[in-house]
A and B are shown apart, each in its own frame.
Chain A
């Protein structure tokens, strides 16, 4: 066959790279048929929304390009975007002198420590990662090209070697080992050269002719994603067993071919790689931007997150953390409410004091600080406490990003040196971006001797093994490197070395663990040694040996006997390691054993570990359970745990069988019922229904009804055996059960109960809740009469909230009708009610927006109602210019033109510097009408919709802060873009993605609520805009705005607006002085405020940055004393404490003046210095006698040195 001549396109040739976006109709058509969309999805979804907005069929908004539409939107907001060049020129005068000595003088260190310059530009530029080789040379990955190569620019980034041959603490020589790299972000010497992360590839570079320059380049792995150059492959680190670990971050998608198949990792995580066997595994999934990872002396590892907020993360092998793709459940970090940390190194060095051993050093690169954390054991996991900073500075270009202990026992800190960080929010080509400077700082302890750097390359095998006794991790690790690189020839030296060890030494097992790691690095197994370590009296050694067992079990004949022993170990950490190691074994016996670890006390980490293993081995055990060949040895609790872990409906019959076997404790029975409700089909739900009718306890009946109603609503599954019998529950004396029964009637659409429902609705004596529930049930009946009937309610003289509810329900059935009713309601809206819910109901319908837009034409709305509508639109993350315009017109709102020219902005920046008052600004920030803290937290206390502002001032320039306030959508923090989801039923959701599993997507909406959407229901999804409403600052005077910006610009900087290390209660709730609450308190005592009561309404309130809760801001209840002139009443506040390991703790107020407190309802004696806490969440309620106290309240949590207890304040909104 011959090619048709027409196929060859004109203009084709060597220069024929037209590269226009495809406009092929067939291509477009196919794009539409795909459910989840990316870039083109945004356009497509916006098309859909905009097109349906314009009801006249002739017009087509789709002819506008996406960019035009964005521009249109911004123009609508009447805010002029500043050009890049104007933007770039601002704040140039802030660029500090690059003199390293001037920089050094800004460093404040604790007493007894000093810092010197080890190396600086021009010896090196822009260090990104550093690591030592066994010779004591410091290797640096250096990139001047970051963030992005320019056309015509040659990729000439380098690997540098710094040498301090005379050991005076100052490098005297730099050599370029290799050049011609493209943004190398990770480096680790080893295997006769150096491993380098270079864009899509992990390279190994070596110098074979000894001239000090690399002449051989091998690609070790390739296929790493490059979607963001501060997320690409980084943080290379040898583990204690000489596996190579490296990280990638949230936007990266990697596809790596190995001899065992393709390994894929979408999103962030840590890889574990054996260069000898090419075995590549995922060691951690998730986290945002993990530029720190280190191992403690027992082989446990920890990670820091350069874009997360939870401080130190304990790495549970294989676990999922925040942002992990496909995560059903995630683990949290150990220090929620932290700033972002980059780099991580664990101190093990005689150069540092004893109480520094095991400390974690990391960098708050935005706040110009080098920070220290101390770990302690907390059941199976760890707890982490922050200590005083190692370095504090106010130098805007000091950017500590990596930290390593050196051969002399000092701490070395890589200073990326840049006034500008990041390239997501700041232009790639911003001229303030530094490309030439960089420093390595060296911190020593003044009055302690330096460590003598060992000579390792020339040492004999036996001498290297002797170095494993070194207190310095640097020495042990580098010795193990040299041994591993010498290969199996060193094996004969190991056993005699172990034999020579002092068996009585407390270090005996730890040294043998080091030897076992040497063996592991050489792929050699000493069965007896591992067996002995598995029996070590030290649980940390047993845990490490158990992890090792998971790597080498197939070479140990009696490995399953060992596992059987480890799963019942006294230590929860050992049990955790056993549960995770068993996932490698992957047999039915392994699953059964992993579940056995639950038979002893379980904490969140152990529970997670078992959950993960059970899920990973689903394909092993689930078919066996279905076929009846396996039943967890009859252990109902194990079966329930496994069933919950995988959420598989295939297991539900086994659950039904089990629930009848034995009488069960109520909560266990309820959890099994709920699981059956989540997973079961018609037959299983029939069983639940019988139980609901006959169960003896009303609270169990309520749970059963709710499970049944949920199954009908969410999965469209219902029982089918004579459902009218629900009537008996409706007749119950228990109001909660009546309501639950009505909810079932609605969910099952039992029209036979229409009369009863109508009667309930009309019953003016019934509670509002009862009437609402009846209305909801009626609204769920199918058929056109429901619509006319809802219209009737909407126009009735029923309470306003019922009428609104009817219209909201109408939006689901008949949006057009709902629109007419809504406009009438809105036009005559009572001042006290909030119309947000009603607007939201329209925004959640695809056709709602265009219909409402048209219906508003010619109507007049109260201005406050129109404003509420505009706020709702802004918070939706949708771009809806027509609707906004219609709302403004109806509400007669004329927007003030807010256009900032570059000069005006510059003037404002200057004003913030000259006149801004941070204290006044904090008051503005705390104002209720601005609602800042509804979405933003400071040190974890506050809303979680937007980024934590803990150190925003230390990282963001003033111009950026102003722009972010005025044009929130201009630069959005990673992880804070909204997602717009359209469901198959035409519902629209907007929120920040919390996580997504294989079955559901969890979004956090603008109200800080987590919304779960089954993936199967999602028709389309696309990225929306920032959830921060524009115009939020409209109601501020200029001086208020100036103060607010000044406050934000001080956050995290050295001074009173930096959050300190002490652990202070910051998230509070205050009891609202409602009549109902006052009545309860009058009738009982203040103590009843410490107990749950439906009459109490608690509202969030937060401490100031200093940690003080201003008592004067609290609402109060009148008391006897308050009747006297000038005397105040009493206020009630509360906070929560999450205790992870039980024991004594201290709760210390700044003063006890006027305070009475209760813990979980039990009076707290302030005189008692410590309190014994059980594991779990505890509520501390404090009554403040305002006649005795005006001073602010401040509560500090103190852990005691000899108490095992570990606790954290509960944070969030």
Chain B
């Protein structure tokens, strides 16, 4: 009895010693920091982002045999460029305030010693947090803030993968011009937008881009968000009967517009909804059946079966328990893999080497989760290949219909509605 116990203890000790030795020999951990809104107004988005990060780290650390066939970083066993170092995500809460964002960024840099940062969803927080990273000289990747001036600050450590508002406007412009060339009528265009910052700024970016590109916006209908009734606006549209209507609205208004247009029995030939409320699962679930053929934009579309995007989407559904990747979570996950790829190529966690590797990033579309033309940064740190897909609502699901090269379904016009 005594003997067996002693043997067991010895064996145990040997195992532990061996385990430690193995750990010390081969592995090291690469910490990547992420500062996202885990509480406050955007907590839901932040928590979906957190799941995307955890899934990304899991893919690199533990691998996925199916995905590994087309996606080299999914082989498992950590980052090959760093002798199999595992990735550890250190996620902090920015509480939706620029102050907390900057404070947490400082903590991740100085206490957690992260090799790089991915941050912060809200543009306002990205401003203060990236300023801290810039002062410390730590690579900082932003995956989803669209404020144009973020890349105009002369920062050396700032990289942004997402397209900005002007890119979305350009996408609509090219899309509509293509329709015009194909013989569709796009002569009169109306923009209906909610009248605070979001609606006003997007609306002016779109109309500027259209005017420069040779399409003119013939009417603008601003309205107060979350109002009880949008009949006056829809009647105004019905009277002028434009060929194309572009909506910039939050969820509740999006639902109201869809209902009211059906009640008043009016629809344009092309109905575009700029992301926002019309992409919310609450909208597609409730209003999908009466908005068949609605056009929107998203950087994410499931893509063809067997593609990186489709397989990541399936993994994400498993992670979240049903919710697939969407416009935001796809951008977040893409940001994560851009950073992981750069650290892997740098073969080091030294900031200057990671920065150099980020600058040299050149990812091809077939390696991407988001529907960009690639990832390649200019001198300001903006991804010059960032672009968006035009999607269309079919049977309550958005599918990619433009550009043709990445379309999974044919475009169906005119707008069907109900």
Partners in one complex: no
